[in-house]
């Protein structure tokens, strides 16, 4: 059982400019549920921003459901994450995804987005 941590405003991204910065400069990883952009920050803790649209997820109720699950997953793993800004963008597959699927997807994507980039590997994983 992991210990649970609070999730306060300074753990979130607020300004449009911050989102823009992560989109432009961050590393990107995605599957059919989400896309995750990650960019190191100077604040000493990880921060989360979400972009979940009704267009990809169906309706407003489902949008809230997906956002809450993302936030809970992020909160549960807050201490394990490096000091980076993450922006999670929904994709149509998230519409019907259950909680466990969302958690699994996010963990894998965060893993890929935060893994130190090694130039030799970048061309090979496709064939492997």
Partner RNA sequence: GGAGUCGGCCAGGCAAUCGCUCCAGAGAUGUCAAAGGCGCCGCAAGGCGUACCGGUGUUUUUGGGGAGGAAAGUCCGGGCUCCAUAGGGUAGAGCGCCAGGUAACGCCUGGGGGGUGUGAGCCCACGGAAAGUGCAACAGAAAGUAAACCGCCGAAGUUCUAGGUUUGCCUAGAGCUGGUAAGGGUGAAAGGGUGCGGUAAGAGCGCACCGCGUGGCUGGCAACAGGCACGGCACGGUAAACCCCGCUCGGAGCAAGGCCAAAUAGGGGAACAGGUCUGCCGGAAGCUUGCUUCUAGCAGCGGCGCGCGACCCGCGCGUGUUCCCGGGUAGGUCGCUUGAGGUGCACGGUGACGUGUAUCCCAGAGGAAUGGUUGCCCAAGACAGAACCCGGCUUACCGGCCGACUCCCAUC
Q: CA–CA distance from 12 to each of 29, 30, 31, 105 (Å)?
A: 20, 21, 23, 20
Task: Name the one range near RNA by CB under 7 A: 25-33, 35-43, 64-72, 120-128.
Answer: 64-72
Q: Where are the beta strands (DSSP E) in 14-70?
A: 27-30, 34-40, 47-51
Closest to RNA by CB, 105 vs 124, is 105
Task: Name the one range near RNA by CB under 7 A: 8-16, 35-43, 77-85, 111-119.
Answer: 8-16
Phi, psi angle pair for 104, to nearest 5°: -60, -45
For residue 50, state whether it binds RNA (rule: CB under 7 A). Answer: yes
Contact residues: RNA, CB under 7 A: 4-10, 12-17, 19-20, 49-51, 59-61, 64-65, 67-69, 72, 75, 87, 99
């Amino acid at each position: 059982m992991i210990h649970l941590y609070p999730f306060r405003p300074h753990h979130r991204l607020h300004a449009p400019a911050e989102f823009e910065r992560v989109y432009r400069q961050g590393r990107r990883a995605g599957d059919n549920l989400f896309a995750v952009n990650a960019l190191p920050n100077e604040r000493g803790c990880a921060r989360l921003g979400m972009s979940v649209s009704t267009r990809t997820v169906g309706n407003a109720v489902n949008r809230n459901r997906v956002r809450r699950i993302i936030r809970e997953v992020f909160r549960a793993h807050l201490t394990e994450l490096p000091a980076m800004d993450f922006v999670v963008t929904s994709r149509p597959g998230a519409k019907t995804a259950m909680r466990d699927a969302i958690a699994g997807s996010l963990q894998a994507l965060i893993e890929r987005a935060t893994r130190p980039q090694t130039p030799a590997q970048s061309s090979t994983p496709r064939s492997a």
